[in-house]
Structure 1
Amino acid sequence: MAQQAIPAEQIERFEAEFHGDLIRVGDADYDDARSVWNGMIDKRPALIARCAGVADIISAVNFAREDDILVAVRGGGHNVAGTAVCDDGLVIDLSEMRGVWIDSDAQKAWVQAGATWADVDHETQTFGLATPGGAVSETGVAGLTLGGGIGHLRCKYGLTCDNLRSVDLVTADGTFVTASEDENPDLFWGLRGGGGNCGVVTGFEFDLHPVGPEVAMCLVFYSGDRMAGCLRTYREYVASAPVEVSTLTLSGVMPDEELFPPDVVDDTKIAITGCYAGLVEDGERTLAPLQEIAEPIANFSGVMPYVEYQQLFDEDYPDGMRYYWKSLYLDGLSESAIDRIVYWTDVAPSPLSTVDVWQLGGAIERADTEDSAFAGRHAPFLLGVEANWERPEDDDANVEWVRDCLDDMRQFSDGSVYLNFPGFLEEGDDMMRTTFGPTYERLVTLKDEYDPANLFSHNQNITPSGSAEADGRACHE
């Protein structure tokens, strides 16, 4: 619920112990500081606390708890649900905490919670190393990791959260703790794919793997008239593909005048993209069949620096455009499922929108389900429905298209979703119970221990057993 502005005397008391920047309504940089990637989100917090370090985070959490202030937490600011900002409350802004430190001999990285995957890739690729990150380099490390993390190396090296070795965070009572397999192991389990419900993460420790500096990659476009056949061939290809291959398909108009000739730029297309986490020459050979399904409209496959492949889609998702994404784990790509994907692609109201099919399996499936809270290891595919558009007057049509598509596609799913493609905040409660199933109660136990008053609830929330609802809200993104 909306709250009144934070009294000046409370802010003054907080400011006395805060070393970062406090940004107030009316300050010259206020509008920039409250803006996030998704242009649909237009929140006006009363105060933005741009933290300089862990001590500032502890102070901000204590301030919010003791003064009963609405709170959100901003990492990379790239979560499609826009939960990094709130109206009338406090934003704990970690965006200046972007440090990345590498131990190349031990193949480890330590990453602050405000970093993006571009920050991580820049440092790790100096040593020919990588950890599985996002498919857009401007994505924040914190939100992606806490939600699981499905990226371009997933089938070989698993989810982002599978490569997590420890997490530092501040809990709702202002305590700084570390979670790992040896220290607070139950909390560590919940942080690996269960969302940001138990505290404000300050930093992560990741395992690294030899990747790059160049990788074999595929990016090929076919006519939309071939979509059903392409999806069938794709289904057969991934069924026997080696774990080094991680691919996805994108179906939509994708009207890029720089990529396509004028006679097809406004036509529906299907793209297949992915990379090979291994020797380049092996990857070129292994990815070749994906480029031979039919006569391509365009084929940009080849060899490129891993860093460039990580940034390949950045320009397609600019800051300030309007986004609404939802997801479902699919139990397969049956003929009926393929037919419905073709249908929903054809009726998308925006030419910038896509219906995506992510290949899963490999290291994701092989990981022990008891080691993390992540709920999607059973599925061979993830369906992502991405509405992307520019004009506010088109909001209703695009949101309705996504929701209708998901309602239809649930016939091919158990109803569980990927937390990083969640829809809007208000859609979270039943979604979380359905996604985690019996595991949900274990997450409730963690919530009861670390945040019994539900201070951290402005997210895809796990409600503590002693509180049906709480006023304080916080999130990672």
Structure 2
Amino acid sequence: MPEPQTEIDEETVQGFSAELRGEVLRQGDAGYDEARTIWNGMIDKRPALIAQCAGAADVITAVNFARENNHEIAVRGGGHNVAGTAVCDDGIVIDLSAMRAVWVDPRARTARVQGGALWSDVDHETRAHGLATTGGIVSHTGVAGLTLGGGIGWLMRKHGLTVDNLLSADMVTADGEFVRASDDEHSDLFWALRGGGGNFGIVTSFEFALHPVGPTVLAGPVFWPADDTANALRFYRDFVRDAPDELGTVVKFGTIPPLPVAPEELHWRPAVAINACYAGPVEEGESVLRPLREHGTPLLDLVSPEPYVAHQSGTDSTVLHGWHYYWKSTDLPELSDDLIDVFVNHAFSAESPRSYSVLFHLGGAVSRVDNDATAYTGRNAPHNININGVWRPDETEEFADSETAWVRRFLDALEPYREGVYVNFLDADDGTQRVREAYGEHTYRRLAEIKAEYDPDNVFHLNQNIEPTG
């Protein structure tokens, strides 16, 4: 594609603004700095324009404007975006973050969700009907980003990944065409959207299948001292091997955050936590989780009946907007003793008390979907790990170098066990080879062919990019 233009004259901006129902922001405008800021405070980019879209018509207008004037496009949904591709320098950000409406059909058990919504928006509407679908483990995660990459969450072992619950998607293509993708319409595109990321266009709304969940679930973490990590992981390996689909678990290695539910003497203490959510009757969950709660001598047991939506947002305050996040990830096999030793040797060697790693247990319904059914390709992996270096902006000088080095060392130590990678956990510096690793050559080639059909000029390249065939 031609070299993008970076200069935009006043008359052109005014004409564009007049066509949009939403706002168009430039440097110096009130709200510009807030609008260019995303969750990861490491990202500091200054677009020439930010088009704050109010609906699908605005998205079409913005895409056409950018194409006709040869401006680079970044697409912002909910705004987590650790890799920083949701904003750009000099180009145009097509910002969907004001498009957060959710419509629930309780009889059909479906929800239509706009492309800028957060999972808290979805959970708020669906809980009124005792329904939910698989969302992220942090409620301020954006629906679009999570869905388009696959969708790991508490309910995945029972109800599948987020993409397994996607029924249709409305999308604006690179040439400004509005299309609906489903099993019956643009089925090739629908396949690609379920794991292929933002490569094919801008999704303005999603339609999801919903399931009865809760509204009360048995959920929460159990903490053990960091010194007990080896014993905790050996127990965990056996505990989850035959776990029912209703049980979702995430192991966290880090410190106990200074939350009101934790005694003050435990604040910032290094610990391993097994966080659980039982998506079934509470009384059944009590029996299933009893061995976990009785293992060893826990520092803290916070498992209790609670609203599903409360558990969904339970860790929100430990991953705040504006902090700096640097992460790496890989899929992993079952936890052998040698692999457990890697965790013991590396998981607690970070210097920042805010840094952590999380180990997801997959399987269940995730693994029972055919690997070719969607573009998400990690269905055979038992686990996925996300290694996350974290520090506040005022701690950059103290921690930036140490935490990025720790993340890389930990990933390097896992090299003998790596089985792939979850595309949503790729960082800005992971590069093309890791994108190919996320999909494997067969799926990547098919995605590249579909990319060539819907975006042959690679207009949407600020993402974990799949280059179009030819």
Tell me if both proteins adopt one fold, taking TM over 0.5 as the criterion.
yes
Q: Which moved more, 1:15-24 or 1:128-137?
A: 15-24
Residues 137, 314 of structure 1: 8 Å contact kept: yes
Q: Deviations over 1:275-295 (max 9, x none)?
A: 111111101211121111111
Aligned match for 2:462, one of 458, 462, 471:
458
1:39-58 matches, cutoff 5 A: 39-58=41-60
Residues 2, 87 of structure 1: 8 Å contact kept: no
Tell me the amino acid that sits aligned with residue 439 of structure 2.
F
Q: Deviations over 1:396-439 (max 9, x none)?
A: 2211211221122121112x211221122x42311111221121
1:177-256 matches, cutoff 5 A: 177-256=179-258
Q: For residue 410 of structure 1, what is the aligned residue in structure 2?
A: 415
Partners of 1:266 and 1:100 lie apart in 2 by 38
Q: Secondary structure at the match of 1:370?
A: coil
Residues 332, 412 of structure 1: 8 Å contact kept: no
Structure 1 unaligned residues grouped into runs of 5+: 467-477
**Looking at both structures, which has the greater relative contact order when contacts are Cα pairs under 8 Å and sequence separation is at least 6?**
1
Q: Deviations over 1:379-409 (max 9, x none)?
A: 0011111111112212222112112211221
Tell me the amino acid that sits aligned with residue 435 of structure 2.
M
Q: Secondary structure at the match of 2:425?
A: coil
Q: Secondary structure at the match of 1:13?
A: helix
Tell me the amino acid that sits aligned with residue 399 of structure 1.
T
Residues 326, 385 of structure 1: 8 Å contact kept: yes
Q: For residue 434 of structure 2, what is the aligned residue in structure 1?
A: 431
Residues 23, 53 of structure 2: 8 Å contact kept: yes
1:382-397 matches, cutoff 5 A: 382-390=384-392, 391-393=395-397, 394-397=399-402
**TM-score with structure 1 setting the length:** 0.95
Partners of 2:310 and 2:28 lie apart in 1 by 39
Residues 322, 389 of structure 1: 8 Å contact kept: yes
Q: Secondary structure at the match of 2:179?
A: strand
Kindly, what percent of the aligned residue pairs are identical? 52
Q: Secondary structure at the match of 1:352?
A: coil
Q: CA deviation at 1:262?
A: 5.1
**TM-score with structure 2 setting the length:** 0.96
Q: Secondary structure at the match of 1:247?
A: strand
Are residue 75 (structure 1) and residue 77 (structure 2) matched? Answer: yes
Tell me the amino acid that sits aligned with residue 251 of structure 1.
F
Residues 6, 71 of structure 2: 8 Å contact kept: no
**Corresponding pairs, count:** 464
Q: Deviations over 1:226-281 (max 9, x none)?
A: 10110010010100111110101001123426454455434320011021111111
Q: For residue 473 of structure 1, what is the aligned residue in structure 2?
A: none
Q: For residue 447 of structure 2, what is the aligned residue in structure 1?
A: 443
Partners of 2:357 and 2:195 lie apart in 1 by 23
Q: CA deviation at 1:346?
A: 2.4
- The CA RMSD measured in Å over matched residues stands at 1.4
Aligned match for 2:381, one of 371, 379, 382:
379
Distance 1:332 1:78, change over 3 A: same
Distance 1:186 1:244, change over 3 A: same
Distance 1:18 1:408, change over 3 A: same
Partners of 2:158 and 2:165 lie apart in 1 by 12
Partners of 1:300 and 1:264 lie apart in 2 by 13
Q: Which moved more, 1:150-159 or 1:61-70?
A: 61-70
Q: CA deviation at 1:443?
A: 0.3
1:36-435 matches, cutoff 5 A: 36-256=38-258, 258-261=260-263, 263-390=265-392, 391-393=395-397, 394-414=399-419, 416-424=420-428, 426-435=429-438
Tell me the amino acid that sits aligned with residue 88 of structure 1.
D
Residues 218, 287 of structure 1: 8 Å contact kept: no
Residues 327, 422 of structure 1: 8 Å contact kept: yes
Tell me the amino acid that sits aligned with residue 103 of structure 1.
D
Q: CA deviation at 1:357?
A: 1.2
Partners of 1:262 and 1:163 lie apart in 2 by 41
Partners of 1:380 and 1:226 lie apart in 2 by 22
Q: CA deviation at 1:368?
A: 1.6
Tell me the amino acid that sits aligned with residue 76 of structure 1.
G
Q: Secondary structure at the match of 2:423?
A: coil
Partners of 1:89 and 1:266 lie apart in 2 by 41
Q: CA deviation at 1:65?
A: 1.2
Tell me the amino acid that sits aligned with residue 468 of structure 2.
P
Q: Secondary structure at the match of 1:236?
A: helix
Residues 217, 287 of structure 1: 8 Å contact kept: no
